[in-house]
């Protein structure tokens, strides 16, 4: 009942507010996209089309605000790559053999692209960016909390039924991505209660990856940890926090988890059917890319052509290779550029001597890079182009790039001179 009331209140109170304050609508829309009330509280009746109601109000409010501020500075290339990926999916749709199937893919990407554009043009202060990050972390952390409750109650809901129409492997990708964000958010926070809340969310997400028994998720979690250690400032307190996090992760990984993960490295002759099917599907994707290099076999079409490679009706178990097979090399190129440009432009910001207007943005850059490193590995093992969280994490990175813009005058000023920032003055830092 609480979940039902919560969803009704956010929907029918949030929608009118979003008309005048589209940033609030953006937060509610993304919150719904992550926690998915219809899956979280599936035993009660939810308001019909709650996400659509808030989304339409958000877009209407965005339009009334003049579609925000499009001065994106060096983040513009990230947004252009996202738009390129979307436009190319439309091109591939028009050339596909089954247009209704491809249309579903295009619509799912549109539902991600629009809020990303709203975020890119409305978030113009570090205060708003911090709020945006907290919304992502708390929303994903709450999903992890509910899954942990179910696990300790004796029902591993994650492996039995998944969550939100996604199986255990797909959910583990979201958890890995969110865990990296939560860890660095905890490092960056100065308030003790906020630091503890962020670390708690990280622990819950890491444990969810463990009991998902997803080998790809476990491997990507390790990659996230390695990248995180390389990026954190080597202050004694930060190193101590990392060591504590590592020991806790090892403690959470029980014998069943370790046995499951060790099967990744078995001899080829001992591979299980799941591993063998993945490798065969990856080879099939590459073959399809060579035969249809421009528009691919069509969005959402891989399952219909997988039978040619011995696995009819199955996904390719790789976001990158399936994107290339379905959308051709241009579609894959836009997708890789979306993630790659973001990381490349964030990396210089992680250096201690980087000239940025707010040192907190350095922590954001490290957060996004660590999260996307884990996601990039996890995505090699699942076909999940419609998962919202990684796109929003990239937008966090793009916004950090945008807000780190330093004017030429400030760049030429002495190192001890005050710098200009792109952030709005305090009076404008509220919701608009």
pLDDT in tens, 354-397: 888 889 999 999 999 999 998 998 888 887 777 899 999 999 99
* Same domain, yes or no: 43 and 153: no
Residue 370 counted as domain residue: yes
Model confidence at 313: pLDDT above 90? no
Q: What is the DSSP string of 208-263?
A: HHHHHT-HHHHHHHHHHHHHHHHHS---HHHHHHHHHHHHHHHHH--HHHHHHHHG
153-157, 176-180, 279-283, 357-361: least confident range: 279-283
Token pair listed for 346: 């964030």
Residue 416 lies in a domain: no
pLDDT at 332: 96
Distances (CA, A) of 189 to 14, 141, 182, 185: 28, 17, 10, 6
Same domain, 239 and 258: yes
Domain end position, chosen among 67, 91, 107: 67
Whether 185 and 158 have beta carbons less than 8 Å apart is answered as: no
Does the pLDDT at position 432 exceed 60? no
Q: In the predicted model, what is the mean pLDDT of residues 109-115?
A: 95
Residue 243: per-residue pLDDT: 75
CA dihedral of residues 308, 165, 211, 384 (deg, nearest 10): 50
**pLDDT value at residue 389:** 93
Residue 431 lies in a domain: no
If asked whether residues 174 and 79 sit together in one domain, one would say yes
Confidence bin at 259 (pLDDT 50/70/90): low
Residue that finishes a domain, picked among 67, 84, 111:
67
Higher pLDDT, 390 or 352: 390
**pLDDT at position 430 over 50:** no
Task: Quote the DSSP letter at residue 166.
Answer: B
Q: Confidence band (pLDDT; 50, 70, 90) for 257?
A: low
Q: What is the pLDDT of residue 244?
A: 73
Indicate whether 5 and 138 sit together in one domain: no
Structure tokens at 30: 């993304």
- Residues 269-290: what's their mean pLDDT? 77
Q: How confident is the model at residue 222 (pLDDT cuts 50, 70, 90)?
A: confident
Banded model confidence at residue 178, pLDDT cuts 50, 70, 90: very high
Which region among 85-94, 188-197, 320-329, 376-385 has the lowest average model confidence (pLDDT)?
376-385
Domain tally, the chain: 2
In a domain, 323, yes or no: yes
Please check whether residue 419 lies inside any domain of the structure. no
Shared domain for 63 and 77, answered yes or no, is no
pLDDT of 162 higher than 70: yes
Residues 191 and 290 in one domain: yes
88 and 61 in a common domain:
no
Is the model's pLDDT at 286 over the cut of 80? yes
Question: Worst-scoring range by mean pLDDT, 43-57, 107-121, 193-207?
Answer: 43-57
Q: For residues 140-159, give the mean pLDDT.
A: 92
Looking at the fold, whether 52 and 131 belong to one and the same domain comes out as: no
Write the burial class of residue 171 (CB in 10 Å: 0-12 exposed, 13-18 middle, 19+ buried): buried
Q: Could you tell me if 78 and 111 lie in one domain?
A: yes
The residue out of 20, 38, 67 marking a domain boundary is 67
Question: Do both 177 and 59 map to the same domain?
Answer: no
Percent of the chain with pLDDT over 70: 86
Q: Are residues 44 and 141 in the same domain?
A: no
Give the model's confidence band at 253: pLDDT under 50 very low, under 70 low, under 90 confident, else very high: low
Residue 181: inside a domain: yes
CA 358 to chain centre: 24
Query: Are residues 326 and 234 part of one domain?
Result: yes
Q: Report yes or no on 327 lying in a domain.
A: yes
Q: How confident is the model at residue 262 (pLDDT cuts 50, 70, 90)?
A: low
Task: Say what the pLDDT of residue 263 is.
Answer: 53
The kind and range of the H/E element at 375 are helix 360-378
Which structural domain, as residue segments, surrounds residue 303?
A: 72-405
* Residue 271 resides in a domain: yes
């Amino acid at each position: 009942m609480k979940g039902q009331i919560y969803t009704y209140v956010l929907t029918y109170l949030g929608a009118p507010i979003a008309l005048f304050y589209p940033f609030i609508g953006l937060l509610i829309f993304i919150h719904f996209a992550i926690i998915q009330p219809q899956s979280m509280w599936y035993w009660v009746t939810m308001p019909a089309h709650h996400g659509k109601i808030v989304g339409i109000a958000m877009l209407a409010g965005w339009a009334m605000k003049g579609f925000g501020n499009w001065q994106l500075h060096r983040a513009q290339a990230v947004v252009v790559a996202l738009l390129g990926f979307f436009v190319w999916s439309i091109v591939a749709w028009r050339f596909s053999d089954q247009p209704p199937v491809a249309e579903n893919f295009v619509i799912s990407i549109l539902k991600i692209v629009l809020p990303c554009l709203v975020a890119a043009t409305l978030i113009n202060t570090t205060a708003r960016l911090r709020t945006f990050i907290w919304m992502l972390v708390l929303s994903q952390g709450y999903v992890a909390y509910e899954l942990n409750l179910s696990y300790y109650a004796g029902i591993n809901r994650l492996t039995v039924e998944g969550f939100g129409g996604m199986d255990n492997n797909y959910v583990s990708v979201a958890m890995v991505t969110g865990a990296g964000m939560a860890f660095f958010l905890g490092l960056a926070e100065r308030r003790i209660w906020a630091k503890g809340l962020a670390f708690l969310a990280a622990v819950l997400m890491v444990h969810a990856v463990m009991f998902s028994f997803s080998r790809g998720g476990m491997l990507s979690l390790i990659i996230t940890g390695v990248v995180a250690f390389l990026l954190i400032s080597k202050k004694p307190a930060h190193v101590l926090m990392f060591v504590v996090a590592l020991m806790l992760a090892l403690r959470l990984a029980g014998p069943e988890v370790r046995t499951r993960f060790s099967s990744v490295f078995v001899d080829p002759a001992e591979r299980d059917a799941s591993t063998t099917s993945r490798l065969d599907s990856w080879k099939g994707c590459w073959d399809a890319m060579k035969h249809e290099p421009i528009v691919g076999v069509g969005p959402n079409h891989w399952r219909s052509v997988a039978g040619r490679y011995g696995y009819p009706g199955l996904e390719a178990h790789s976001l990158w290779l399936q994107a290339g097979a379905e959308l051709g090399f241009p579609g894959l190129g836009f997708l890789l550029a979306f993630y790659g440009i973001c990381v490349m432009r964030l990396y210089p910001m992680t250096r201690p001597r980087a000239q940025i207007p707010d040192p907190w943005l350095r922590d954001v850059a490290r957060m996004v890079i660590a999260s996307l490193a884990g996601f990039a590995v996890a995505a090699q093992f699942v076909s999940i182009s419609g998962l919202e969280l990684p796109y929003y994490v990239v937008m966090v990175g793009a916004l950090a790039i945008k807000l780190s813009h330093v004017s030429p005058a400030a760049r030429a000023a002495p190192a001890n001179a005050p710098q200009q920032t792109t952030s709005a003055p305090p009076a404008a830092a509220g919701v608009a």
